């Protein structure tokens, strides 16, 4: 009896599994809010230098015609005949108010940076970290640094919590991560300085990885094989729902400190009810804690209305039927086990490509909402809405055609959608937005698939370590993505080429991964090797049966339901099937 059969014995996809998934979905909903939060908390409103004159034009009334006329004497204009954002005249240029001399200010070099600070347009955002700490002009790179610091925290969290959850359990690390998120996220809302803000955002990023990794593992490891794709779709949609919630909360709460607090404080509630969650019995078994595994299985059986079946379980039954898991508990597993065997090396290499490129292209699109030329709130809703059909289509492809084809197609289509914008004029904003939304939807489907795929490919003893490595590569992609936009200084199309090429290459690499549709979760490294060996033998046996045919001979057609002689024309058709043509 395998662990999958034990799950079926205690109720399969019963009441417990449904409640378990629902409780795990709530913390995941707000993960999207944190990952995309700086689209709003670090938004850059229109701004200009504060002029030395002490008048009402320094008090956010720059929209009046009188102020616009007055400010031309203090602030030069750019090529678009609008006030420059980062410079002002050293001395007032009153003659420029004369329309006959207005053109001369474009050639005037008697300017300086804004020594008295900036005036910001507060019609959309009442406060952001940009307006709070003047992260504009010469300090504009600090905004991107804040997001990179957050992503670095997510990266460190993936490394730390991936290993710790394999050592101390999924439930313990999930509870700790929720508490860390509640505290660090709330502290970021009251940060007195930009440095303090970055420190708290780093800690929040770490907690994001802890929440995501352990929610996925707890849901997958308690789910029967035939329901894993459904659960994966539900958890994937929770991230999409989070994008809608973020748009609504950001539209309602225009002050960055209150918005930061609103998406962080709920994790205190998740921390409190997290103690009710049930630890993974798979993890208990692989850790040698069979008594605790038995207790959790019997608890699940009672909740699923299978109390009698649960009572039939005993330590002797578990020991006899989980012989592979118990010896594995005597060994210590580290990240080096991810590349210990040839099969694991291939899996790890391919999955690293997939995780990196998916996140790299995703954040290249998702963190650039202000450049679409329409309402940032509307674009956030559109980007969230496209996930619904994209993930639904991915769900059906995953269920009926498999994980491998879903992963490969979603990445390749995303890459081509991004590259297509190279050939679209900048004036065609609607078409450019359509391609970007299509690419984002494909990448969302790729994320949905890779979480499930990675959990199914790695064995239980190193599953969290493998998920942690995948998330590490994803966060590296998230850190690198904003930096790629700097290449537009050399060529406007170069960022799109890079963002598009990465998922296309990774989509091809994904074709070398084994299929996991209807395959039981592996619990040990030996399981992974044996599954790969079985797949190879199945392919070789099939080829042997087909290619051993002779004209006028007999083909063992039991694979097709009968045995009969075939001729040359029929043999050619079978060869075509075997070759995939």
- Work out the angle at residue 467's Cα, subtended by the Cα atoms of residues 466 and 469, and round it to the nearest 5 degrees: 65
Same domain, 231 and 311: yes
How many angstroms separate the CA atoms of 17 and 20, rounded? 5
What is the C-alpha separation between 561 and 413, in angstroms, rounded? Answer: 38
What CA–CA distance (Å, rounded) separates 428 from 416?
A: 18
Give the pLDDT band (50/70/90) at residue 99.
Answer: low
In a domain, 184, yes or no: yes
Same domain, 36 and 52: no
How many CB atoms are closer than 10 A to CB 142?
18
Residues 6+ apart with CB under 8 A from 67: 56, 57, 61
Residues 342 and 282 in one domain: yes
How many residues are there in the chain?
A: 581
Can you tell me whether residue 103 is helix, strand or coil?
helix
Name the β-bridge partners of 127: 255
478/366 Cα distance (integer angstroms): 10
**What pLDDT score was predicted for residue 204?**
92
Query: Does the residue 491 lie in any domain?
Result: yes
Of 317, 408, 419, 320, which Cα lies nearest the Cα of 361?
A: 419
Residues in contact with 303: Cβ distance below 8 Å, sequence separation at least 6, in sequence order: 11, 14, 15, 16, 19
Question: What percent of the chain has pLDDT above 70?
Answer: 78
- How far is Cα of residue 3 from the mean position of the Cα atoms in its chain? 29
Residue 545: helix, strand or coil by DSSP? helix
Coil, strand or helix: which one is 83? strand
Residue 97, pLDDT above cutoff 70: no
Beta bridge partners of 554: 565
Which stretch of 16-20, 116-120, 199-203 has the lowest confidence by average pLDDT? Answer: 116-120
CA distance 158 to 472: 6
In the predicted model, is pLDDT for residue 53 greater than 90? no
Reported as type and span, the H/E element at residue 47 is strand 47-49
Residue 515 domain-assigned (yes or no): no
Could you tell me if 92 and 141 lie in one domain? no
- In this structure, the answer to whether residues 415 and 452 fall within a common structural domain is yes
Cα separation, 503 vs 548, whole angstroms: 40
Give the separation between CA 541 and CA 529, rounded to whole angstroms: 18
Number of domains in the chain: 3
Structure-token pair, residue 208: 């994001």
Residue at which a domain ends, from 510, 535, 553: 510
Judgement on whether residues 195 and 315 belong to the same structural domain of the protein: yes
Last residue of a domain, one of 486, 510, 534: 510
Task: Say which residue, 182 or 314, is predicted with more confidence.
Answer: 182
573 and 489 within one domain: no
**SS3 for 289-340, per residue?**
CHHHHHHHHHHHHHHCCCHHHHHCCCHHHHHHHCCCHHHHCCCCCCHHHHHC
Is the residue at 437 inside a domain? Answer: yes
- Per-residue pLDDT of 321-368, as tens digits, reads 665 555 554 456 666 778 778 888 888 899 999 999 998 998 888 777
Instruction: Determine the 3-state secondary structure of 43 from DSSP.
Output: coil
Q: Cα–Cα distance between 238 and 458 in angstroms, integer? A: 24
Q: What is the mean pLDDT of residues 96-125?
A: 65
Q: Higher-confidence residue: 424 or 263?
A: 263
Kindly state whether residues 360 and 345 are assigned to the same domain.
yes
The model's pTM: 0.71
* Claim to verify: residue 51 and residue 38 sit in the same structural domain: no
Instruction: Give the distance between the most distant pair of CA atoms in the chain.
Output: 102
Q: Could you tell me if 16 and 94 lie in one domain?
A: no
Task: Answer whether residue 364 is part of any domain.
Answer: yes
Residues 452, 425 share a domain: yes
Of 115-124, 193-202, 260-269, 533-542, which gets the smallest average pLDDT? Answer: 533-542
Q: Report yes or no on 545 lying in a domain.
A: yes
Instruction: Tell me the C-alpha distance between 164 and 54, whole Å.
Output: 58
Percent of the chain with pLDDT over 90: 13
In a domain, 369, yes or no: yes
Residue 378 lies in a domain: yes
Same domain, 217 and 273: yes
Per-residue pLDDT at 183 exceeds 80: yes
What is the pLDDT at residue 351?
Answer: 92
Q: Residues with Cβ < 8 Å from 401, sequence gap 6 or more?
A: 517
* Averaged confidence pLDDT in the chain: 77
Which residue among 121, 152, 184 closes a domain?
121
Q: Which residues contact 197 (CB under 8 A, 6 or more apart)?
A: 129, 146, 188, 191
Residue 192: strand, helix, or coil: coil
Q: Residue 169 has what pLDDT?
A: 84
pLDDT at 216: 82
Quote the CA–CA distance of 495 and 345 in Å, as a whole number: 31
In the chain, the N- to C-terminal Cα span, in Å, equals 40
Per-residue model confidence as pLDDT tens digits over 355-372:
999 989 988 887 776 666
State which residues form the domain around 569.
525-579
């Amino acid at each position: 009896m395998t662990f999958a059969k034990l799950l079926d014995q205690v109720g399969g996809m019963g009441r417990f599994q449904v409640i378990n998934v629902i409780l795990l979905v709530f913390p995941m909903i707000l993960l999207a809010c944190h990952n995309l939060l700086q689209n709003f908390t670090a938004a850059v409103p229109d701004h200009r230098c504060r002029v030395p004159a002490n008048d009402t034009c320094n008090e956010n009334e720059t929209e009046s015609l009188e102020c616009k006329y007055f400010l031309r004497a203090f602030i030069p204009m750019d090529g678009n005949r609008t006030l420059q954002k980062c410079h002002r005249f050293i001395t007032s240029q009153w003659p420029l108010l004369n329309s006959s001399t207005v053109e001369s200010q474009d050639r005037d070099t008697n300017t300086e940076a804004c020594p008295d600070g900036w005036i910001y347009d507060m019609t959309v955002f009442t406060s952001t970290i940009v307006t709070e700490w003047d992260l504009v002009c010469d300090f504009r790179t600090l905004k991107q640094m804040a997001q990179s610091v957050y992503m670095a925290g997510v990266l460190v969290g993936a490394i730390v919590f991936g290993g710790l959850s394999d050592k101390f359990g999924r439930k313990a690390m999930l509870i700790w991560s929720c508490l860390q998120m509640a505290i660090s996220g709330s502290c970021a809302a009251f940060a007195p300085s930009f440095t303090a803000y970055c420190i708290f955002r780093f800690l929040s990023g770490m907690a994001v990885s802890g929440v995501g990794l352990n929610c996925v593992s707890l849901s997958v490891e308690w789910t029967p094989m035939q329901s894993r794709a459904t659960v994966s779709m539900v958890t994937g949609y929770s991230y999409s729902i989070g994008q809608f919630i973020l748009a609504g909360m950001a539209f309602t709460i225009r002050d960055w400190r209150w918005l930061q607090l609103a998406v962080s404080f709920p994790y205190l509630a998740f921390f409190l009810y997290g103690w009710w969650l049930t630890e993974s019995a798979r993890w208990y078994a692989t850790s040698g804690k069979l008594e605790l595994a038995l207790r959790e299985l019997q608890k699940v059986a009672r909740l699923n209305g299978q109390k009698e079946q649960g009572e039939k379980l005993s330590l002797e039954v578990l020991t006899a039927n989980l012989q592979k898991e118990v010896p594995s508990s005597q060994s210590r597993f580290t990240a080096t086990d991810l590349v210990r065997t040839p099969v694991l090396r291939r899996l790890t290499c391919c999955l690293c490509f997939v995780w990196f490129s998916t996140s790299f292209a995703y954040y290249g699109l998702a963190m650039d909402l202000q450049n679409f030329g329409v309402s940032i709130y509307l674009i956030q809703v559109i980007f969230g809405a496209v996930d619904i059909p994209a993930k639904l289509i991915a769900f059906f492809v995953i269920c009926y055609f498999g994980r491998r084809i879903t992963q490969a197609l979603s990445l390749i289509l995303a890459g081509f959608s991004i590259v297509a914008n190279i050939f679209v004029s900048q004036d065609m904003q609607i078409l450019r937005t359509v391609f970007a939304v299509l690419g984002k939807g494909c990448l969302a489907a790729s994320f949905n698939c890779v979480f499930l795929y990675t959990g199914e490919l790695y064995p239980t003893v190193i599953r969290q370590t493998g998920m942690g490595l995948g998330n590490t590569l994803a966060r590296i992609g998230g850190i690198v993505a904003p930096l790629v936009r700097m290449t537009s200084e050399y060529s406007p199309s170069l960022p799109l080429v890079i963002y598009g090429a990465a998922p296309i290459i990774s989509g091809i690499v994904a074709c070398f991964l084994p299929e996991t549709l209807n395959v039981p979760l592996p619990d040990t490294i030996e399981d992974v090797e044996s599954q790969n060996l079985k797949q190879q033998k199945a392919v070789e046996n099939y080829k042997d049966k087909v290619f051993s045919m002779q004209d006028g001979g007999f083909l063992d057609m039991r694979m097709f339901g009968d045995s009969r002689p075939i001729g040359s024309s029929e043999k050619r058709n079978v060869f075509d099937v075997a070759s995939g043509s």
